[in-house]
Amino acid sequence: MDCIQNQYKFIVHELITVVIKRGRGPLRILHTADWHLGKHLEGWSRYEEQKEFVEEIIEIADDNKVDMVLICGDIFDTTNPPAEAEQLFFQAMDYLSKGGERVICLISGNHDSPNRLMAPGPLASRQGIFIMDEPRGDRYKLDDDRVLNRGQGYIELEINGEGVVLTALPYPSESRLNQVFSWTGDDRAVQESYSRRVGQIFSHLEQYYRENTINIAMSHLFVAGGQTTRSERPIQVGGSLTVLPEHLPEKSQYTALGHLHRYQIASSARRAYYSGSPLQYSLSEKDHKKCVNLVELHPGEEARIEQVELTTKKPIEVWEAEGVEEAIKMVEANKDRSVWAYLYINVDKTLLQSEIKKIKEIKKDILCINPITPEEKYEWETIKMPDEDLDIMELFKEYYRKTKKVEPDDDIIRMFSSIVNDTREKGEHDETAAS
Amino acid sequence: MDCIQNQYKFIVHELITVVIKRGRGPLRILHTADWHLGKHLEGWSRYEEQKEFVEEIIEIADDNKVDMVLICGDIFDTTNPPAEAEQLFFQAMDYLSKGGERVICLISGNHDSPNRLMAPGPLASRQGIFIMDEPRGDRYKLDDDRVLNRGQGYIELEINGEGVVLTALPYPSESRLNQVFSWTGDDRAVQESYSRRVGQIFSHLEQYYRENTINIAMSHLFVAGGQTTRSERPIQVGGSLTVLPEHLPEKSQYTALGHLHRYQIASSARRAYYSGSPLQYSLSEKDHKKCVNLVELHPGEEARIEQVELTTKKPIEVWEAEGVEEAIKMVEANKDRSVWAYLYINVDKTLLQSEIKKIKEIKKDILCINPITPEEKYEWETIKMPDEDLDIMELFKEYYRKTKKVEPDDDIIRMFSSIVNDTREKGEHDETAAS
């Protein structure tokens, strides 16, 4: 009798579990990154396009009943963004959060000033917008009711009755790794490679994951093997600031990344994805489809990931013409299309100012008008089909080969690498000091 | 019988009115201005002192059960404040608003970038922090529940069951008056004097006042006759950007002003007050007591105004010594006092680098060490006792007299005035363009 009763109890319990699970539905996440608010292209503002993609992302979030938005760094293009970009940011946050209903988590990238980005944190966190990791005061009510727990690098939330643990690592510059993450351990550890140290941080943060919670991670970094474009400011020199896939979070069900502007899987084994930027930000991105990632999650289950393509309102194009006459015809034919055009004209002699003026009169927002003489043909080919994996070190080697007619030796390469790194670290310090 | 009943009814109604009025208690306002977050003094940061006055103002607001805080412009010292200043601002807003409980209204001054200040408006207004007049979206719930009505230049709130109408005019620069307040009327009106146009705006806004509401106003401007110091960036040239008391709001029960750093009554007849800045920001403010104003208001009644003095944690002082030896003794005797000291030393010969070094070693944060030769004695007297009403036009006239040995004629004065105004307008435009 007891046995039968227990069996019933078990069945009822199982049924309830299933019903609750079904009832809860999945957690729906929208993953985006690299908004670069305030960015220009050849001196032209992208503000109008940025307003448009913000609108589109809000629409996608609404249509897909998104519960949580992750914005993985490089939200602004500079550490000191124009007021217009800040206005767009705050308006976007307010609309995207539906006035506080939908949770947003964001981190700084290598373009952002972490301090400036985190400044509005106290106000933002009260309506479910969490700038990881802003310094928090300890007065009055902290955050909003959905926050169960919070500390450096992680937040635990309750969304639709489901526990969600998000670990977050804002862009870890060399100097930031040393300053902020001093808890990574002993001197020896600090001496170890960048990638290993990043891995240690992720491992440390994974302690907050639990079996019955949805476990996710977000960061802004360059995963070794990723496909770059020309508009990410390189954070790796000679590979020293790349992170190996094996050092990405191990137990995260979905790791949302920012930095690379092209949508890509950073590591299948580690379930790590780049959403890419929402706009084509440089010539080398001219054929990229842009998207956001929609992710559906249940505790302990595999994530369902869907790419949602964004409409490209004003794509980047390269136009190549044989001679000025053809160029003018080409511009005339395309003058009403909404495109950012780089115009290259094969010529025997240099272009006249009057010819340039005439072309610009036909299409005011043409980006560049470049004459190409037969001798420049080779260079032009490299521009047209940029080697997207070329990093600053490769460019240096190529330059060295061309000018010195020999390969640079190891000493030279090491010296160059250390100069570049020093300059960058100094730049970061200057920004910190200036802030 | 009916008559007696009616009499009773009347008495009961009167009693209820009295009880409700008593029950409601007054509206308690804290009025402050000119925080100048991010400001330096002779290259020294005032950040620590600014953190302290923010703390003190929060304490005063808490102790006095303040319902509403008015911050009347020049919240930041520059249009592009450092991240540190922004962090202090947001933290202050969060604490001062008690996480959304207490209403805060703020406006931009001539030092602020209106666009940058208003950027976080969408988030801020949801927790009762109103940056007048930030552009507002029309999606989702607007503002918070206390807002009954809102439009350009005014907001109507319900606080403790009492209706409060606040009209607000952020710093009205010449160009802003023309751009934003184009509704002031016809071309002729625009040609009229600055003061009259400001008066027209206030008159226009007063239509929102009602008999049964508490009616107040806030602005950032220079009221003719006000006592200046050397740390307000002058907004008046030859008097053209001053506002006559008769053009201040007529029906406001209390008009809270910012711009002048010294506490003062701008106009008794118009019930307009400057709270002054919370810190001594320049040498000419060295003897100022700093304060905030506490104001108690009932509809239709006279305001009860109380100055609450702020503690001066690090006052500005001028030390004058006869010779280097006395100077060293003086610095030695005062080395542990928390003061910003300008040291003037009467000398016959110039100071040696070694002497300057010695003094600085005794007191690191000494602001200036100035030797005064007998010939410089006259200039020094003017520094020590600055003529606080001297504006840029007066300085120009004095300079002209000294160098040309004649009085400048009207043409010269007009030309100088227009150059100064043009430069300022250009500065504003550049900022707008840059933003």
**Nearest CA-CA partner of B73 in B222, B294, B289, B250:** B222
* b/e sequence B333-361, b meaning 16+ C-beta within 10 Å: ebeeeebbbbbbbbbeeeeeeebbeebee
* b/e sequence B133-168, b meaning 16+ C-beta within 10 Å: bbebeeeeeebeebbeebeebbbbbebeebbbbbbb
Angle subtended at Cα A321 by Cα A318 and Cα A327, rounded to the nearest 5 degrees: 100
Which segments of A32-127 does DSSP mark as H helices, in order?
A: 47-63, 83-96, 114-118, 121-125
Nearest to A126 among B99, B140, B141 (CB): B99
Higher pLDDT, B145 or A316: A316
pLDDT above 60 (res A429): no
Q: Which of B58, B87, B141 to mutate to test the interface with A (most CBs of A within 10 A)?
A: B87
What is the arithmetic mean of pLDDT over A398-426? 72
Q: Write down the domain spans for chain B.
A: 26-309, 316-384, 392-434
- Worst-scoring range by mean pLDDT, A42-46, A135-139, B122-126, B159-163? A135-139
Nearest to A123 among B93, B116, B140 (CB): B93
What is the arithmetic mean of pLDDT over A402-410? 78
* Interchain contact B122–A (C-beta under 8 A): yes
Low-confidence ranges of chain B (pLDDT < 50): 19, 22, 182-191, 236-239, 386-389, 425, 427-435
Higher pLDDT, B139 or A293: A293
Architecture of domain B26-309: 4-Layer Sandwich (3.60)
Q: Does B139 contact A89 at a Cβ distance shorter than 8 Å?
A: no
Closest CA in chain A for residue B98: A140
Angle subtended at Cα A297 by Cα A291 and Cα A302, rounded to the nearest 5 degrees: 95
- Worst-scoring range by mean pLDDT, A21-25, A79-83, B202-206, B405-409? A21-25
Q: Does A83 contact B119 at a Cβ distance shorter than 8 Å?
A: yes
* Interchain contact B137–A (C-beta under 8 A): yes
Residue A203, burial from CB neighbour count under 10 angstroms (0-12, 13-18, 19+):
middle
Q: What distance in Å separates residue A96's CA from the closest CA in chain B?
A: 10
Q: What distance in Å separates residue A88's CA from the closest CA in chain B?
A: 8
* Interchain contact A402–B (C-beta under 8 A): no
pLDDT above 70 (res A29): yes
Element at B178 (helix H, strand E): helix B174-179
* Interchain contact A116–B (C-beta under 8 A): yes
Averaged pLDDT score across all residues of chain A: 83
Closest CA in chain A for residue B138: A95
**Nearest CA-CA partner of A356 in A375, A339, A343, A341:** A343
**Structure confidence at residue A406 as a pLDDT band (50, 70, 90):** confident
Query: Quick count: other Cβ atoms within 10 Å of Cβ B390?
Result: 16
CB < 8 Å to B124, chain A: 123
Element at A71 (helix H, strand E): strand A68-72
pLDDT of residue B199: 93
**Structure confidence at residue A325 as a pLDDT band (50, 70, 90):** very high
CATH for A25-309?
A: 3.60.21.10
pLDDT of residue A303: 96
* Interchain contact B433–A (C-beta under 8 A): no
Q: Does A90 contact B123 at a Cβ distance shorter than 8 Å?
A: yes
* Interchain contact A136–B (C-beta under 8 A): no
* Interchain contact B118–A (C-beta under 8 A): yes
- Worst-scoring range by mean pLDDT, A74-83, A304-313, A360-369, B6-15? B6-15
Q: What stretches of B207-299 adopt beta strand conformation (E)?
A: 214-220, 222-223, 242-243, 254-258, 264-267, 272-274, 291-297
Angle between helices B392-404 and B410-434 (to 10 degrees): 130
Q: Does A126 contact B89 at a Cβ distance shorter than 8 Å?
A: no
Rounded Cα distance, A355 and A244, in Å: 51
**Nearest CA-CA partner of B277 in B288, B265, B289, B261:** B261
pLDDT of residue B311: 94
Q: What distance in Å separates residue A82's CA from the closest CA in chain B?
A: 4
pLDDT of residue A233: 63
* Interchain contact A223–B (C-beta under 8 A): no
Residue A140, burial from CB neighbour count under 10 angstroms (0-12, 13-18, 19+):
middle
Rounded Cα distance, B386 and B284, in Å: 6
Higher pLDDT, A301 or A241: A301
**Structure confidence at residue A304 as a pLDDT band (50, 70, 90):** very high
Contact B167, B249 (CB under 8 A): yes
CB < 8 Å to A89, chain B: 119
* b/e sequence A1-25, b meaning 16+ C-beta within 10 Å: eeeeeeeeeeeeeeeeeeeeeeeee
Determine the 3-state secondary structure of A317 from DSSP. Answer: strand
CB < 8 Å to A434, chain B: 82
Rounded Cα distance, A213 and A154, in Å: 13
The one-letter code for the residue type at A142 is L
Q: What distance in Å separates residue B116's CA from the closest CA in chain A?
A: 5
CB < 8 Å to A116, chain B: 83, 86
* Interchain contact A127–B (C-beta under 8 A): yes
What is the arithmetic mean of pLDDT over A275-289? 93
- Bridge-partner residues for A107, per DSSP? A72
pLDDT of residue B190: 45
Contact A155, A405 (CB under 8 A): no
Query: Quick count: other Cβ atoms within 10 Å of Cβ A362?
Result: 16
Q: What is the complex's ipTM, to 2 decimals?
A: 0.77
Higher pLDDT, A180 or B61: B61
Q: Which two tokens stand for residue B254?
A: 């209390």
A272-274 β-sheet, strand order: A147-151, A154-159, A162-169, A214-220, A254-258, A272-274, A264-267
Residue A431, burial from CB neighbour count under 10 angstroms (0-12, 13-18, 19+):
middle
Rounded Cα distance, B200 and B177, in Å: 11
pLDDT of residue A427: 43
Q: Does B87 contact A135 at a Cβ distance shorter than 8 Å?
A: yes
Q: Does A90 contact B120 at a Cβ distance shorter than 8 Å?
A: yes
pLDDT above 60 (res A58): yes
pLDDT above 50 (res A184): no
Complete DSSP assignment for A369-405: EEEE-GGGHHHHHHHHS--TT--HHHHHHHHHHHHHS
pLDDT of residue B383: 57
Closest CA in chain A for residue B79: A83
